[in-house]
Amino acid sequence: MPTIEEELERRSLLYSLLMPVMSQSVQGLEKGKGMYFLFIKSEAKTPGGLVARPVLTSYYKSSHFRERPYDPYTNYTSPNETILCPDSYQSMYSQMLCGLVQNKEVLRVGAVFASGFIRAIRFLEKHWTLLCRDIRTGTIDPQITDPSVREAVMRVLKPDPKLADFVEGECRKESWQGIITRLWPNTKYVDVIVTGTMSQYIPTLDYYSNGLPLVCTMYASSECYFGVNLNPLCKPSEVSYTLIPTMAYFEFLPVHRNNGTNSISVPKSLNDKEQQDLVDLVDVKLGQEYELVVTTYAGLYRYRVGDVLRVAGFKNKAPQFNFVCRKNVVLSIDSDKTDEVELQAAVKNAVNHLMPFGATLTEYTSYADTTTIPGHYVLYWELSLKGSTPIPPSVFEDCCLTLEESLNSVYRQGRVSDKSIGPLEMKIVESGTFDKLMDYAISLGASINQYKTPRCVKFAPIIELLNSRVVSNYFSPKCPKWIPGHKQWCNKN
Ligand code: AMP
């Protein structure tokens, strides 16, 4: 994405709006610190000599972040050096250590996306013994070799055997339910994005935080920053973002979705008709869905961001939008097209079958397997098993069927009438598989802050990685229900 120096100021402006909004809902935040897990990624140069790096890396490396004047509202437990460390293990370790050492001062915790925060908790699950040893002795593990990180951590680290005993006692307990409120007892909320595909992490966050408010403060992208949530304590399902009209020139392409069939196409530049259909920010209609189109100061012209938004209401006259989905995530075997929202809803329905067994879905992704004839949908599920009752195969088969029943009419038609789609397959993968997937994406250049588990995978090495960790697989035992009347209607789309 092209960007320019002045864009950092615009982005800083949006950041500066977050805490004043937040303080209207939660008082006293200036009396303590935020424990945020923030990361940078190493940068590359384009052949023309420009720096290429993720947007957040640019921001954290900029003077806007590094040299921010003291402000009780941007007072973080992580010293800048730990955030700016390019080694993700050292960065995470040192940020966690500093967060633990200052546990009483922490009033809010977070990361950019929910997935990043959960990754931090998992890191703690794996490494708490080392961290406790460091807290006890006031020294840093030798694996942390970056001198600036060591120096910065030493400024906050003192031998504290009492705290080490406390952290060890909590981490040693079998259940990690409420671990956030146990280790950081003054935490008032968890600041992470849980809208869009991130919504599937809500149960895990609720579990770790004992139901603390989950706060989605902003909506942004590499192309440009968009807006803020003016009602941050609302339920995640009700979050809406108010676009800040000075961030870019915003236009909206109406989206028409019929009967669950997704008529959204793969991103491409706007054709003449679409250019004429564009609506200005002042003209959007309540309840209507739109694709977001931006013209940015950095030079993108009528650029399709790839997100679908729904007008949820107005603040005075400023429209507020629900994030509906990222549109280019689709599964398709034949004429069926399944978008992220449908898949998410189907997964949510299917997961109910696991509840009696104390199992929850940690992560999932999907794949349109066209190597079989006919092709079929494959869902990869990673489960967290808390109960001791084994889950019988018939329950997984029920999950498969519920998934199919929940998918759109064109899909079910393909299954029942056209036989163009084979039975849906579920592959259960071993614990930690999705962490490996993330590690893999990071090794290829993804940024930890901006990484989102892909809800659909196509890249052969990733599919290989997933398949190498399958512990069992199941197929839908019969065809889902389908009413023929839908066929012609769907053909019109
Ligand atoms: P990136 O450019 O990699 O930072 O990704 C930007 C994309 O992340 C956006 O276009 C959205 O699809 C997604 N995203 C960013 N903020 C939010 C949010 N608050 N809720 C849901 N999705 C978001």
The model's pLDDT over 412-436, given as tens digits with 9 standing for 90+, comes to 988 998 788 999 999 999 999 999 9
Contacts of 399 by beta carbon, 8 Å cutoff, 6+ apart: 350, 351, 353, 354, 426, 474
- Taking residues 137-166, report their average pLDDT: 98
Distance CA 297, CA 300 (A): 7
- Taking residues 330-357, report their average pLDDT: 89
Conformation bin of residue 260: beta by default, left when phi > 0, alpha when psi is -120 to 50: left
Quick check: 198 pLDDT over 90? no
Measure 464 CA to ligand 1 centroid, in angstroms.
Answer: 27
Question: What are phi and psi for residue 449, nearest 5 degrees?
Answer: -60, -40
Report the pLDDT value the prediction gives residue 187, as an integer from 0 to 100. Answer: 98
Report the pLDDT value the prediction gives residue 300, as an integer from 0 to 100. Answer: 96
Report the pLDDT value the prediction gives residue 115, as an integer from 0 to 100. Answer: 80
* Closest residue to atom 16 of ligand 1, CA basis: 219
Residue 202: both structure tokens together:
């809500």
| Highest-pLDDT range among 312-321, 322-331, 439-448 | 312-321
From the alpha carbon of 196, which atom of ligand 1 is closest? 21
Cis peptide bond upstream of 484, omega within 30: no
Test site for ligand 1: of 193, 303, 329, 340, most ligand atoms within 8 A of the Cβ: 193
Q: How confident is the model at residue 44 (pLDDT cuts 50, 70, 90)?
A: confident
Test site for ligand 1: of 225, 239, 323, most ligand atoms within 8 A of the Cβ: 323
- Taking residues 23-41, report their average pLDDT: 94
Contacts of 47 by beta carbon, 8 Å cutoff, 6+ apart: none
Distance CA 398, CA 272 (A): 47
Report the pLDDT value the prediction gives residue 256, as an integer from 0 to 100. Answer: 78
Distance CA 268, CA 317 (A): 31
Neighbours of 357 (CB within 10 A): 17
Distance CA 342, CA 187 (A): 34
* Closest residue to atom 9 of ligand 1, CA basis: 221
Test site for ligand 1: of 219, 239, 308, most ligand atoms within 8 A of the Cβ: 219
Of 185, 183, 132, nearest in space to 161 by CA: 132
Q: What percent of the chain has pLDDT over 70?
A: 95
From the alpha carbon of 223, which atom of ligand 1 is closest? 2
Measure 473 CA to ligand 1 centroid, in angstroms.
Answer: 32
Ligand 1 site residues (CB inside 6 A) read 193, 195-196, 216, 219-222, 305-307, 323, 326, 450
Quick check: 261 pLDDT over 50? no
Report the pLDDT value the prediction gives residue 110, as an integer from 0 to 100. Answer: 97
Distance CA 351, CA 339 (A): 18
Test site for ligand 1: of 202, 307, 329, 455, most ligand atoms within 8 A of the Cβ: 307
Residue 124, helix vs strand vs coil: helix
- Taking residues 374-382, report their average pLDDT: 95
From the alpha carbon of 55, which atom of ligand 1 is closest? 4
Measure 176 CA to ligand 1 centroid, in angstroms.
Answer: 29
User: For 183-187, 265-269, 395-399, which range has the lowest pLDDT when averaged over its residues?
Assistant: 265-269
Distance CA 78, CA 109 (A): 11
Residue 174, helix vs strand vs coil: coil
Measure 397 CA to ligand 1 centroid, in angstroms.
Answer: 34
| Highest-pLDDT range among 97-101, 194-198, 257-261, 408-412 | 97-101
- Running DSSP on this structure, what letter comes out for residue 164? H
Q: What percent of the chain has pLDDT over 90?
A: 71
Of 117, 322, 133, 336, nearest in space to 226 by CA: 322
Report the pLDDT value the prediction gives residue 197, as an integer from 0 to 100. Answer: 65
**What b/e sequence results for 215-247 when a residue is b if at least 16 CB atoms lie within 10 Å of its CB, and e otherwise?**
bbbbbbeebbbbbbbbbbeeebeebbbbbbeeb
Test site for ligand 1: of 326, 341, 344, 455, most ligand atoms within 8 A of the Cβ: 326
The residue with greater pLDDT, 340 or 466, is 466
Measure 482 CA to ligand 1 centroid, in angstroms.
Answer: 35
Test site for ligand 1: of 221, 300, 320, most ligand atoms within 8 A of the Cβ: 221
Place of tokens 């809010």: 108
From the alpha carbon of 222, which atom of ligand 1 is closest? 2
Q: Are 73 and 32 in contact (CB under 8 A)?
A: no
Question: What are phi and psi for residue 328, nearest 5 degrees?
Answer: -90, 15
Cis peptide bond upstream of 245, omega within 30: no
Measure 168 CA to ligand 1 centroid, in angstroms.
Answer: 36
Q: Mean pLDDT score of the chain, rounded to an integer?
A: 91
Report the pLDDT value the prediction gives residue 201, as an integer from 0 to 100. Answer: 80
From the alpha carbon of 218, which atom of ligand 1 is closest? 19
| Highest-pLDDT range among 247-251, 252-256, 450-454 | 247-251
Report the pLDDT value the prediction gives residue 179, as an integer from 0 to 100. Answer: 97
Report the pLDDT value the prediction gives residue 329, as an integer from 0 to 100. Answer: 60
pLDDT digits (tens, 9 = 90+) for 217-244: 999 998 999 999 999 999 999 999 999 9
Report the pLDDT value the prediction gives residue 487, as an integer from 0 to 100. Answer: 42
Residue 138, helix vs strand vs coil: coil
Q: How confident is the model at residue 14 (pLDDT cuts 50, 70, 90)?
A: very high
DSSP E strand stretches across 333-486:
338-339, 359-369, 376-385, 425-429, 470-475
* Closest residue to atom 18 of ligand 1, CA basis: 219
Quick check: 491 pLDDT over 80? no
Question: What are phi and psi for residue 200, nearest 5 degrees?
Answer: -70, -10
Distance CA 65, CA 135 (A): 28
- Running DSSP on this structure, what letter comes out for residue 355? G
User: For 50-59, 208-217, 463-472, which range has the lowest pLDDT when averaged over its residues?
Assistant: 50-59
* Closest residue to atom 7 of ligand 1, CA basis: 221
- Running DSSP on this structure, what letter comes out for residue 76? B
* Closest residue to atom 1 of ligand 1, CA basis: 221
DSSP E strand stretches across 92-202:
106-113, 189-193
pLDDT digits (tens, 9 = 90+) for 52-90: 888 899 999 999 999 999 999 899 999 999 999 999 899
Measure 309 CA to ligand 1 centroid, in angstroms.
Answer: 12
- Taking residues 111-131, report their average pLDDT: 92
pLDDT digits (tens, 9 = 90+) for 391-414: 999 999 999 999 999 999 889 988
